[in-house]
Amino acid sequence: MNAHLRRTFYLFVAGFTGLVMMLAYWQVYSREALANNPENGFQTQRSISSPRGLILAGDGETVLAKSVKRPTPRGPVYDRVYPLGTPFSNVVGYWSTRYGATGIEISNNSDLSSVVGEPETLDDLINRATGGPQPGNNVVLTIDPGLQKLAYQELSASSTGRGAVVALNPKTGEILAMATSPSFDANEVDENYPELANAEDAPLVDRGTQSLYPPGSVFKVITAAAALEVGVSPEQHFFDSGAYELPGYTVHNFEGKDFGDVTFTRALAYSINVVFAKIAVNIVGAQRLTDMALNFGFGDPYDDFPLPVSGSSVNSLPPEKWTTGTLAQTGFGQGEVQTNAFEMALVAAAIGNDGKLMEPRIVREVRSPDGIILDKPTPSVRRQALPPDTAETLNEMMQQVIIQGGLTDAEIEGMKVAGKTGTAESGNGEPHSWWITFAPADDPKIAMCVMIENGGRADKGALPIAARLMKAYLVDGV
């Protein structure tokens, strides 16, 4: 009888072996296929059933995004909550199981989401070994929460309520504020998405990074930089007759003024189109003007920046095919020149930082939930846009824009301020209002670009807003 018992036992062993093989089939061989099966909702469920990491502002304390636990009959799920809402939504983005994700939420998803990848700290390893729902890592941004909030308030209270502010530390490239208006509340994306996506004023689009506008006279700093490189001195004299006739195109000054005999510095301060058109056509030329714009980051889509940026462009045609009319218009930032507040803020920052264009950064560091720093990029130079001495000269000229130009609003007591206005023909309603600035000019702590869509004259639209923000940051310390 024992032989029969043994035989039956072998049968059982075979059965158990079969079961292990069956398990291996499911758990190893067809795992991938099953995980991606449309009937399988685990991937979505996993994304909401474990807490994502925090997104923190530059002070390391202000919480911009967090996961909040909510019990359900099928176990707890985590809702993504954005405590500060709209002013930060364009940067932080949203995380929706229905409408996808944007902003830092998607660019740094691998940091924020839990699990995946090798454990990075001992605590992480223990957590994983014990298998709890592990929160993702925390992402600390460079954004100054006070400045960002103030910038958004200023924009939404502006004449059109449409515009963008980008501010950064010129020496480190850290973005201090990146506000856009109108914007949206990331907390309400699930409810309002169709409405937001179809809204005429495009609240889901970041006007500072994703839209492109003609810059007008703020572009003159690039023309000026090119001219200084060719050898034009700030004291060199130019004659403004109020008009500059070219084949098929005549340049006029803003509001039809003529200034007569002016220095180069004064031409920048008064933003004289005729002089800059002449400099572009007669002294700089298309190639050098284009090269200087590219030096400052035109044509660069900033792919390594976490948020999507539309690359600025000078012209759709290569420089050698430009007409003199095109060249003249480009010289004062009209024609086909397209840029945004992000790019122009970087231009201002590079001039203030001795010509060094720092790598723009918005993520300061990534920390594990228990506070260990996992990743902390260091400031790096993206490009030497200008030789330091040229940058210094241009810096001085931009200070004169405020002094000689009588832009008293832009002055900040006790420090030198540099800036440049832009009132750009939009071809559609009021001109766009631009202002780029950095201060203190001899040791800049902040560079900023304010752009108000159809905001009218620079000194009435963008400049006062920027002035208040600069003072708030530098003097009051928001």
Task: Note the residues at the interface with another protein (CB under 8 A).
Answer: 1-6, 8-9, 12-13, 15-16, 18-20, 22-24, 26-28, 30-31, 34-35, 37, 39-40, 42, 45-46, 49-50, 71, 73-76, 128-133
User: In angstroms, what is the minimal distance from the CB of 29 to another protein?
Assistant: 9
User: In angstroms, what is the minimal distance from the CB of 115 to another protein?
Assistant: 8
> Which CB atom, from 17 or from 250, has the smaller least distance to another protein?
17
User: In angstroms, what is the minimal distance from the CB of 367 to another protein?
Assistant: 22
DSSP-based three-state secondary structure for 182: coil
Say how many C-beta atoms besides its own lie within 10 A of residue 83's C-beta.
Answer: 12
* Backbone conformation region of residue 174, classed left if phi is above 0, alpha if psi is from -120 to 50, else beta: beta
Exposure string of 405-439, with b = 16+ CB inside 10 Å and e = fewer, is bebeebbbeebbbbbbbbbbebeeebbbbbbbbbb
> Which CB atom, from 12 or from 427, has the smaller least distance to another protein?
12
> Which CB atom, from 128 or from 445, has the smaller least distance to another protein?
128
> Which CB atom, from 20 or from 320, has the smaller least distance to another protein?
20
Pair of tokens at residue 277: 């058109």
Roughly what angle, to the nearest 10 degrees, separates helices 388-403 and 220-230?
Answer: 130
User: In angstroms, what is the minimal distance from the CB of 68 to another protein?
Assistant: 15
Alpha-carbon Rg for the chain, nearest whole angstrom, is 28
Angstrom CA distances, 215 to 334, 358, 426, stand at 7, 21, 9
> Which CB atom, from 18 or from 379, has the smaller least distance to another protein?
18
Query: In angstroms, rounded to a whole number, what is the distance separating the alpha carbons of residues 307 and 175?
Result: 12
> Which CB atom, from 112 or from 357, has the smaller least distance to another protein?
112
HSE of 423, CA atoms in CB hemisphere, 13 A:
17
User: In angstroms, what is the minimal distance from the CB of 97 to another protein?
Assistant: 15
> Which CB atom, from 20 or from 303, has the smaller least distance to another protein?
20
Burial of 303 (0-12, 13-18, 19+ CB in 10 A): exposed
User: In angstroms, what is the minimal distance from the CB of 23 to another protein?
Assistant: 5
Query: In angstroms, rounded to a whole number, what is the distance separating the alpha carbons of residues 357 and 362?
Result: 15
User: In angstroms, what is the minimal distance from the CB of 359 to another protein?
Assistant: 38
Angstrom CA distances, 121 to 111, 112, 125, 138, 224, stand at 13, 15, 6, 14, 51
> Which CB atom, from 90 or from 127, has the smaller least distance to another protein?
127
User: In angstroms, what is the minimal distance from the CB of 39 to another protein?
Assistant: 5
DSSP per-residue letters across 103-172: HHHHHTHHHHS-S-S---SHHHHHHHHHT------EEEE---HHHHHHHHHHHHTSSSS-EEEEEE-TTT
> Which CB atom, from 40 or from 241, has the smaller least distance to another protein?
40
Angstrom CA distances, 179 to 153, 238, 348, 353, stand at 9, 39, 17, 23
Roughly what angle, to the nearest 10 degrees, separates helices 286-295 and 324-331?
Answer: 40
Q: What's the DSSP call for residue 284?
A: I
Peptide bond into 440 cis (omega under 30): yes
CA 73 to centroid of chain Cα atoms? 41
461 touches 159 (CB < 8 A): yes
> Which CB atom, from 74 or from 98, has the smaller least distance to another protein?
74
The torsion defined by the Cα of 58, 61, 66 and 69, in degrees rounded to 10, comes to 170
User: In angstroms, what is the minimal distance from the CB of 112 to another protein?
Assistant: 18
User: In angstroms, what is the minimal distance from the CB of 76 to another protein?
Assistant: 7
Query: In angstroms, rounded to a whole number, what is the distance separating the alpha carbons of residues 181 and 207?
Result: 7
> Which CB atom, from 75 or from 260, has the smaller least distance to another protein?
75
User: In angstroms, what is the minimal distance from the CB of 105 to another protein?
Assistant: 22
